[in-house]
Amino acid sequence: MSLITPTRHKGSQKGGARRAENNKIYAHPLPLVFSAPEPHSKFGHVLGLFGPNTRLENPHCEGIFDPATRSVWVTNEKDSMILWRRGFFGKGNLSRSEPSWLARQINARKAAGKYMTSEEIREKRRAERKQFKMDRAAAIAKAAAEAEAAFAEGREAGPAFIPSGATWKPQPSSELSLPSEPLEDQSMDVAEELEPLEDVEHLQLTLQEAFFLIWNLDCLTVLDPHTHEPMSLRETWQTFQDVHCIPPGLPVYAHRFDNPFLVNYAAYHYYRSLGWVVKGGIKFCVDLLLYKRGPVFHHAEFAIVVIPVYEDPADKESSPFNLPNADTFSWSWLSTINRVNAQVQKTLILTYVTIPAQSRVSADLLSSPACLAHYSVRDVVLRRFIPARMRD
Amino acid sequence: MDDNLELPTATPKPEASQDREEEEQSSGDEDQGPDWTKIPGLNVARPVIPKRGEKDFEPTAQGGSGLQRHVLDRSRSAMLEALKATRTISHKSVSHAIWYPQLKRAHVTVARGIHFSTMGHSVARASAESEGAKKVQKRLELLPEEALYLVERGAMYCWEPTDLPLHHTVHLDDMEGVPMSVQQAYAEMIGADELTLERYEVYAYLRRLGYVVTRTKPPSPEYPVPPPFPSVTRASASIVNRLLNTVTSFLSQFVRIFTGGRDWWRPICFSRWLHYNMSNKSLFKSLRFLPSGYDVPLHVQRAPEAPSTPYQIFYNLYKPSTPFKKTAPPLPDFSVVIVNARTTPMPTIAELTDLFGELPELPPPAPRKRMSFAQQKQASASAPQSKQTAPQGPAIQPWSFRRSLAWIWPLPQTNENAKSPARPTNPFPSLKTGKKMVVVAAVDAGTISFFRFGQGVFTEWPMA
């Protein structure tokens, strides 16, 4: 089956086995794991209902704060796997999503990977799609030329066969058109027989993801980049906000509720607390994407645009930050985003985050996360209304 | 063969209803132009009109091959022929009305055709008699947009009262006025009684599709209005529900007192002995401590001297299948706001909240019943009879808290639930439609884009 059509079969052996495996690997929605040891007696079972048996496992991961990229790097491979597998936090910096660079290099060496990583699947799919388009264009040109010839002679042209996504099969010869990986292999083989492979990839967490893990679940420790000392929660809170204040220390940045970190954190926390897996949405012109269980299970259902709303217009005038989407969109831009997401079957959600007015809420609250209680998050679902279709 | 010559009608063709959700957002047929070969307008003997074919991707490299040029010419001439034909209407089926510029209404003197079952309203006006005694008579009057729509369609002649001496013409000797041309009708009626060109365009577009369109705010006291929306009635909380509510809130407060109030540096605490936050479900529940949703007050300051917002519901929309009675209109199916896309920006959250405040809550969408093929055939055969019973089907389901307690206290089983008791309700249809819906029509120099803004219900359907 070619990769260019999304697979619709639901009951195949391969799909079922992979799904069962995914269910096992990605069984925990958060890095904290609750384990209830099996009760051995009926009495123990009764006690188990009241819970003293449930244990909490905290993986205590470690990461380094990087101000240049405004992210937290987790270089320890075990920690990055835990964070990815339990909740889909972060993104490998050399990969599409899961840190799979090492696996890809090993596959490339062996040149016979049993399970292709997602990057390899993507490359294969793109190559097949390119081939399909070339075949289709050639078939269309041929049919047009034949119709032209038939018209010139005054007769009807015969039916032409134009391959569609469902009928096209990848030719074995099209393997040659794949990018020059075989060539690379040979050169790399020679070089790497000497060097063992070292994993140079790290998992990158956004500031919002990192703060969520530190503050709520207490399962991540962030190290200072210069001293490599663990940062306290107060230091982290202050640093994550200061990273948006460039150059640092200017008085205009003090006591601002509209720090981009705070606004984005309010939206991130809202969706995470409802159980959704939240990832970045730059690919679809939006801010966030919501997955029901995770990217490996199903495509994202919702695309979120975070719109900050100032309670006091004077705050907006005096703001040193240029918050994106703070000015109302034009209808053409809204239509654009809606159309892009409708093409990929995602529903667009506008999430309004209200920023408290400095006249109403004291700025002292900014010293602790208590200020987050004054932001409020509302969502609005945006869809097209087609009167011709909604008649019945 | 004769399908091509059928008159276009407003009744929808029966369609298979699967996969509607995905198609709703795609542009599809509606954005393609009219099929010129299917419009009846040719009075002369019909030439062979070719069927609509596949569009070629691009012209051939040699530039306009013979076949391509031939096909193009054929389609173009079909379009021009269809446009050239004169539109006619029999004088027995045309209506007549008189336009009164001071009243901004058209008084219908001769009403023919089916239009008036959904258009116009009756107004009592005093008519001065020659003897001086005034008689109050009820007469049919049309709003400017209704009159203009009928004139543009060619179904009505509009007259203007005049003092000039009139000749008597055949068939028209009882008209007292001079006929208005379509251009004059446009000039007079656009601008009358809050009718802008954008509003008229939306009105005409929706009417042409078959909807019934009425104004939400009555422009005069005699204009019939639908009954007010039912106020939001939460599912009646039974004694047990309220008891459980108080017990859980008491427990959470107790724990909070025990742990000394919410510590903002450690908002989530785990207590193994009290079994507090010891499962994923309860952990996610305690994570939801930040304010969210529409119940939280919105503190956005509004400038008191700001001009009134253009975001007000203007039209009530009724689907063609809804039984509509002019004197007692039912509750509208959709509420439409019309804005000019070039001058008015997107609605702010304050404006949206105001709009949502006026609208009723929609019932959650009925789950799609999975039927076997035999059952589907049977259902489609008996569909026309069961259309009336369908609107009463999905009862208002009790919302989140009551449903989350269903594992202790099972919900009363309705007929639909009895068939599939083990299947949990799918949250996605409800998440994608939202709780309340307003339709905003953004008109950009003639092109109308409709958007549905729905109030999100994410807080009521947590994923964990």
Query: What is the tens place of the pLDDT at every residue in A254-311?
Result: 888 989 999 999 999 999 999 999 999 999 999 999 999 999 999 999 999 999 999 9
Has residue A266 been placed in a domain? yes
Is-contact A46 A40, C-beta < 8 A? Answer: no
Q: Is B275 on the interface with A (CB under 8 A)?
A: yes
End-to-end CA separation in angstroms for chain A: 39
User: Any residues with CB less than 8 A from the CB of B28 and at least 6 apart, and which?
Assistant: none
Examine the domain organization and report whether B330 and B440 are in the same domain.
yes
- Chain CA centroid to CA A92, Å: 11
Q: Is there a domain that residue B445 lies in?
A: yes
Phi, psi of B336 (to 5 degrees): -115, 135
- Give the separation between CA B150 and CA B158, rounded to whole angstroms: 9
B67 to chain A, any CB pair closer than 8 A? The answer is yes
Structural domain contains residue B175: yes
* Selected residue of B18, B209, B285, B301 to mutate for chain A interface (largest A Cβ count, 10 A): B301
Q: What is the extent of the structural domain holding B157?
A: 91-195
- Contact call for A377 and B23, based on CB within 8 A: no
A356 is a domain residue: yes
Q: Are residues B318 and B179 in the same domain?
A: no
Same domain, B191 and B317: no
For residue A295, the enclosing domain spans 252-385
**Six-digit token pair at B185?**
């009708």
Residues B282 and B307 in one domain: no
Q: Are residue B212 and residue B350 in the same domain, yes or no? A: yes
Q: Note the pLDDT tens digit of each residue in B424-450.
A: 788 888 899 888 999 999 999 889 999
Q: B352 and B267, same structural domain? A: no
Question: B209, A387: Cβ pair inside 8 Å?
Answer: yes
Q: Pick the residue of B62, B67, B292, B438 with the most A CBs within 10 A to test the interface with A by mutation.
A: B292
B114, part of any domain: yes
Shared domain for B102 and B153, answered yes or no, is yes
Of B280, B341, B451, the CB nearest to A30: B280
At B135-146, the pLDDT tens digits run 788 899 999 999
**pLDDT value at B392 more than 60:** no
* CATH number of domain containing A335: 3.40.1350.10
Q: How far apart are CA A305 and CA B349, in angstroms?
A: 13
What's the pLDDT at A251? 84
Please judge whether B265 and A234 are an interchain contact, meaning their C-beta atoms are less than 8 angstroms apart: yes
pLDDT at residue B28 in the model: 45
Cβ–Cβ contacts within 10 Å for residue B450, how many?
19
d(CA B223, CA B104): 14
CB contact under 8 A, A385 and B12: no
pLDDT bin (cut points 50, 70, 90) of residue B256 is: low
The residue of chain B nearest to residue A58, with distances taken between CA atoms, is: B270
A374 is an active site residue: no
For residue B78, being part of any structural domain is answered with no
> What single-letter amino acid sits at A259?
N
**Model confidence at A64: pLDDT above 80:** yes
The H or E element that residue A44 is part of is helix A42-50
pLDDT of residue A111: 66
Same domain for B283 and B312, yes or no, is no
How much of chain A, in percent, has pLDDT values that exceed 90?
42
Angle at B332 between CA B327 and CA B337, to 5 degrees: 115
**Does the pLDDT at position B388 exceed 70?**
no
Give the pTM.
0.77
Dihedral angle of Cα A298, A300, A301, A303, to the nearest 10 degrees: 180
State the total domains in chain B: 3
Residues in chain A with CB shorter than 8 Å from the CB of B316 are: none
* Closest by CA position to B108, among listed B137, B149, B141: B141
Q: Quick one: tokens of B172?
A: 């028209």
Chain A residues near residue B337 by CB distance under 8 angstroms = none
- Residue B10 makes CB contacts below 8 A (sequence gap 6+) with A391, B209, B210, B320
Quick one: pLDDT band at residue A202, thresholds 50, 70, 90? very high
Burial of B352 (0-12, 13-18, 19+ CB in 10 A): buried
Do B339 and B259 share a structural domain? Answer: no
Could you tell me which residue, A207 or B380, shows the higher pLDDT? Answer: A207
Same domain? B121 vs B179: yes
Which of A313, A354, A385 is facing B451, going by the closest CB pair? A385
Do B134 and B176 lie in a common domain?
yes
Q: CB-based contact (8 Å) between B303 and chain A?
A: yes
Query: What long-range pairs does B388-394 form, CB within 8 A, spacing at least 24?
Result: B393/B366, B394/B363, B394/B364, B394/B365, B394/B366
Q: Which of A32, A212, A274 to mutate to test the interface with B (most CBs of B within 10 A)?
A: A274
CA dist., res. A325 & res. A308, Å (int): 7
Question: Torsion-angle region of residue B155: left (phi > 0), alpha (psi -120 to 50) or beta?
Answer: alpha
Higher pLDDT, B173 or B311: B311
The two structure tokens encoding residue B240:
């047990």
Using a CB-CB cut-off of 8 Å, the residues of chain A touching B459 are 274
Active site residue A346: yes
Whether residue B135 contacts residue B123, with contact meaning beta carbons closer than 8 Å, is answered with no
Catalytic residue among A270, A291, A310, A375: A291
Number of domains chain A is built from: 1
Q: Does the pLDDT of residue B17 top 60, yes or no?
A: no
Instruction: Name the residue among B46, B83, B79, B50 with its Cα closest to residue B67.
Output: B50
- Are B164 and B275 members of one domain? no
Residue B183 covered by a domain: yes
Rounded distance between C-alpha atoms, residue B142 and residue B214, angstroms: 11
Inform me whether the pLDDT recorded for A191 exceeds 50.
Answer: no
